[in-house]
Structure 1
Amino acid sequence: MHMRILNLFPVIAIGLTLVACSHAPSREQVGTACATLAGRTVSTSSIGLPSGPATVLSAVLVAAAPESISGNTLTPATPEYCKVLGSVAPRDPRAQPINFQLNLPTRWNGKALQYGGGGFNGVLVSGLAPLRDAAPGDPLPITRGYATFGTDSGHQASTSPASEPGAFALNDEMLENFAYASYKKVRDVAVDLMQSVYGQAPRQLYYFGGSEGGREGLTMAQRFPADYDGIVSVVPVINWTGLFHAFVRNEVPQFGDWLDAAKTPLIAKATSDACDALDGLADGVVNNYLACQGRVNLQPLRCPGGADAGAHCLSDAELSLMRGIHSPYTFSFPLANGITTYPQWLYGHEDSLDGAAAMNLVRWVSGSAAPTAPPNASTAATQWLYGSNWIRYAIARDANFDVRSYRPESFAGRVQQTSALIDSTNPDLSAFFARGGKLIIRENAADRAQSPLMGIEYHKAMVARLGQAAVDRSTRLYVSPSSTHSGNARSVTDKAVVPTMADLLDPLDRWVTTQTPPADAIVQTSKAGLPPFAVQGSRPMCRYPGYPHYMGGDKSLAASYACRASQP
């Protein structure tokens, strides 16, 4: 794979996306219909899974609002729309309802977009937020004319302590809703309500999610292939079961020797020193993500004698931990679809920003203090918070279970049962592809939440099952080399921001509606956060197995790079 980047900046054609379908109702008709929705019930016969009825709790016509700025915070423009809040009743009276929000623009483009959630969900996804990895100034989907909707997946996190986000999994229906059922139920209710307001179902219906939301999107393609025309799945938690077991593997040893957060820059520098120049440019950015892995050797960082001696070195226990993180996690029995391993994490960008300015490795692996049982939500690594919750509530089903003593073999039946429920590892997307469904997957090579190799393994499994030609007709896998789980990145050496922002909804829509496949290299940008949103840099995000190799010229421009195949 070797090519120059021809088109630097994709154009978001707002005007084109706002062209209404031929029989779309007028603005006045949508407003009138909106006023009649409150109190409406959607019967169980309109929902494709066993369910209680859905009820519209409120429906309000919201006036258009221009883009606004408060301090350094930008609020994007929104059009006039009907804001619908509702809930889907459970079958089990002990289960919580599935809450949802549906936003119906009065100028509709005939399409709908379902937003995915994140983490353990439990918070209502409004469908009004910028898409994952959107650049400042990108118009919201609803501003482009999409009807948008989201859900809390059937439980409310506010009813549990922050340290117990997995407590809902003690209830079978709530666990099933989180795994897959809530997204299908809300989709069916949303389509029914769109039919009522617009007089027709959407011509195209897409799913866009990242992390847990990326898993949801793949789940929809696998379980309900007739319901979606296209899916964008960013850093998807494909093999949830394998990942959460690997979380525990990574965290339990730190009860004896915590990986001090202060050691993160030491590890980041060692990986950068080993791998930075493999992409043709020494700039503190590891682009050649696969070639890097075999070149990293942390052994020279060993503390004299092997005992912890401070932030300038790694103890034997810490070296062992790092070797474990960069090794596969293996089960002694098969999970869903015959999978027995979860892949290792990749090296690179351990101290890049992730989330609310937390360092990448610190946020996910070490936390700001040693782990405790039960976890302390304010200091725990997210891997420990999530992993220990899953084992206690979904596997052992005992809030007081000591995860430090956990052995999956002792719970093999339950592990397999939950794997069949929640893992999105089925590579057979033939039914989804047969009806024209398109799938875009984005992996971030510096992800410490989930391994980007899982997306690569899933792509390989699809090729093995369906053939290269079939996968190429309907799937694109991109890898953003230096990006963390939440998408951002910075140079290890000079801390400069790395371009990682890219719109994937428009390429998906063009692929579905005009049969125009996305480019093999999509330009990522970094932009100023406020108008006029000045472009500060650009870099290509290459189709797997490509990575951006520096060819000469201005390193801040995508045209200075070409996609080459990254190989171990």
Structure 2
Amino acid sequence: MPGADHSRQSFAVWHRAALSLVLCTIALSASGRPAAAEAAFPSDCARLAGLKIPTRLIGLPSGEATVTSASYTPAAPAKATSSATPDFCKVVGTIAPIDPAAQLINFQLNLPAAWNGKLLQYGGGGYNGTLVSGLAPLRDAAPDDALPLTRGYATLGTDSGHQVASFAPDRIGEFGLNEEMLINYAYASYKKVRDVAVALVDALYRKRPSRIYYFGGSEGGREGLTMAQRFPADYDGIVSVVPVVQLSMLFQSYVPNNLPQFDGGWLNPAKSETLARFVADACDDLDGLRDGVISNYLTCQPKVSLQGLRCQGGTDTGDSCLSDAQIAAIQTLHAPHPFPFAMANGITSYPQWLYGNEITPDPQRMTITRWVMGTAPPAQPIDVATVSQQWLYGVNAIRFIVTRDDKFDVRNYRPENFRARIEEVSRLLDSTNPDLSAFFAHGGKLILRENMADLAQSPLAGINYFQSVVARLGQSTVDASARLYVSPGSTHTGPGTSVLGGSAIPTMVDLLGPLDRWAGDGIAPADTLIQTSKDTAPPFALKAARPMCRYPDYPHYVGGDKAAAESFVCKKSMP
């Protein structure tokens, strides 16, 4: 399939050839002003409904795109549960598949009346399958940060070409049985909706975006890296937060993480809290401040000796200790997972997870319970009410993407028995190509963020990827176009809390502003950005601030107000 060779220049050629077919359905206002003129905006928005975007305007093999609805939405003030929005045109549409058995790609494009000339594409999460509206706050946004739409961005999202509601809750990976739907999930849908959005932007505003950005976390972070690798001329900037960069390997690594739980290795929530406090005792003061947050993330790892938690005799005697089977389960999580053959770009293992902040007060973010252990040991068949997210995702990946056998017992899974298929899936899903030279040469800028208390994926995967880019292109080249920041204590979804008191720690930061200034004005982000913690209700009082440092640094406390960013300096974390 076409990839990086589909440059913005070649797309523009196709676009100009067919643009008259698109624009003929959009009338100019009586004064001859563009269709986005203020007075004509609501009616010009409505005229987008029913518009069809021909396949020649989509840079990958595709069916036709259709605008199913276009509705003018007047400005709305901020409410307790939602941010302020401006006057905008809400455009919802579909892109038809080539395979009639594949599902539609759904997309939503939001076009503000006061447009800043830029397009921001939101990434998805998990297995996707739910339409990303482009109307939500960005990852890690503070409660008083204006929405991108309110800042003037046209915003875009998709469901990646399948609808999770059409599958049973324990079969969320079933879309993987259809190869076109899997390819759409891997990379194709994001490129397709991007091309359709550019045509629609041009149809309404009579000009193309001056810059196009991708902003996503987790699966959405992988999507952003995928765009830089496969379509380097199509995007001017990317923010990639906790990217599941080795996605196929991550899904497979979930299996060995969970297998010990079938043999007595499961930890209940009380034992998970015991583990979290044990890790804090070993590592908390390595950053100069005993506050229940592991900030010196690399130095911490060799300091944790689980034998200090061993129950007498190695058998389970209560929640204050771990049995030998439970220690083995935790050690499995904190060890690399090797593969018997190389995956895409020569990678042979998935890195270990890190210790630190294994619990939070919010059950939805209680990291080791939610992601690794579940609220009960894993079982066959899956109980979606109690299962860990790792086991749910891992079982679905093996059954529906690798073996394509929904009856396969994942406990018997051996990668070597499915080598050809695994190599194929790795080429699709693993966004590990270190050659970003075309993206950087185009002027593309990349900001990555890794959360060091992430138990959905190993933060070392993104760190290793960034280092592979440095090894391939050189430090000076990477410094001119990319940044990697680390957020100690942050869970996969971003927020983090003190293990000792449960209070929120500073994890909020705006990364869109720094990206835009870098890509648009050439102003590189600072080596240190400021993360905050704020009240969720007006006037959004600042509770605490702390530096977010470039890798491999961490915020080290040097004295003064513990809630003030100036009381910390960035120092190197060493294993």
| TM-score bin, normalised by smaller chain | over 0.9
User: Of 41, 65, 68, which aligns to 1:57?
Assistant: 68
Q: CA deviation at 1:503?
A: 0.4
User: Of 397, 413, 418, which aligns to 1:406?
Assistant: 413
User: Of 120, 138, 147, which aligns to 1:131?
Assistant: 138
User: Of 329, 334, 345, which aligns to 1:337?
Assistant: 345
Instruction: State how 1:140-539 maps to structure 2 within 5 Å.
Output: 140-257=147-264, 258-353=266-361, 357-539=364-546
SS in 2 for 1:68: coil
Q: 8 Å contact 2:365–2:491 — kept in the other structure?
A: no
Q: CA deviation at 1:33?
A: 2.0
Q: CA deviation at 1:307?
A: 1.9
- State the superposition RMSD in angstroms: 1.2
SS in 2 for 1:251: helix
User: Of 41, 48, 60, which aligns to 2:59?
Assistant: 48
Q: CA deviation at 1:309?
A: 2.1
Q: CA deviation at 1:24?
A: 9.0
Q: Which has the higher contact order (CA 8 A, sep 6+)?
A: 1
Q: 8 Å contact 1:24–1:108 — kept in the other structure?
A: no
Q: 8 Å contact 1:39–1:56 — kept in the other structure?
A: yes
Once the two structures are superposed, residues 114-159 of structure 1 have per-residue CA deviations (whole angstroms, 9 ceiling, x without a partner) of 0000000000000000000001011000000000010000000000
Q: 8 Å contact 1:507–1:517 — kept in the other structure?
A: yes
Q: CA deviation at 1:29?
A: 3.6
Name the TM-score, length of structure 2 as normaliser.
0.93
- Structure 1 match to 2:554: 547
User: Of 68, 73, 76, which aligns to 2:79?
Assistant: 68
Once the two structures are superposed, residues 197-220 of structure 1 have per-residue CA deviations (whole angstroms, 9 ceiling, x without a partner) of 010110010000000000000000
Structure 2 CA distance for aligned equivalents of residues 29 and 430 of structure 1: 43
AA aligned opposite 2:519: V
Q: CA deviation at 1:353?
A: 4.9
Structure 2 CA distance for aligned equivalents of residues 210 and 511 of structure 1: 20
In structure 2, do the counterparts of structure 1 residues 63 and 343 end up closer, same or farther at CA, with 3 Å as the change threshold? same
Once the two structures are superposed, residues 48-70 of structure 1 have per-residue CA deviations (whole angstroms, 9 ceiling, x without a partner) of 0000000000000001000112x
- Structure 2 match to 1:13: none
Structure 2 CA distance for aligned equivalents of residues 438 and 542 of structure 1: 18
Structure 2 CA distance for aligned equivalents of residues 29 and 285 of structure 1: 54
Structure 1 CA distance for aligned equivalents of residues 90 and 186 of structure 2: 26
Structure 2: state its 5+ residue gaps: 1-32
Q: 8 Å contact 1:125–1:150 — kept in the other structure?
A: yes
Structure 2 CA distance for aligned equivalents of residues 227 and 51 of structure 1: 18
1:38 equivalenced with 2:59 (yes/no): no
Once the two structures are superposed, residues 480-527 of structure 1 have per-residue CA deviations (whole angstroms, 9 ceiling, x without a partner) of 011000111111112221010000000000001110111111100000
SS in 1 for 2:480: helix
Structure 1 CA distance for aligned equivalents of residues 188 and 165 of structure 2: 21
Name the TM-score, length of structure 1 as normaliser.
0.94
Identity in percent? 60
Q: 8 Å contact 2:35–2:204 — kept in the other structure?
A: no
Structure 1: state its 5+ residue gaps: 1-21
Structure 2 CA distance for aligned equivalents of residues 110 and 375 of structure 1: 47
Q: CA deviation at 1:177?
A: 0.3
Structure 2 CA distance for aligned equivalents of residues 228 and 28 of structure 1: 32
Q: CA deviation at 1:23?
A: 8.0
Q: CA deviation at 1:25?
A: 3.7
SS in 2 for 1:75: coil
Q: 8 Å contact 1:111–1:203 — kept in the other structure?
A: yes
Structure 1 CA distance for aligned equivalents of residues 194 and 41 of structure 2: 20
SS in 2 for 1:319: helix
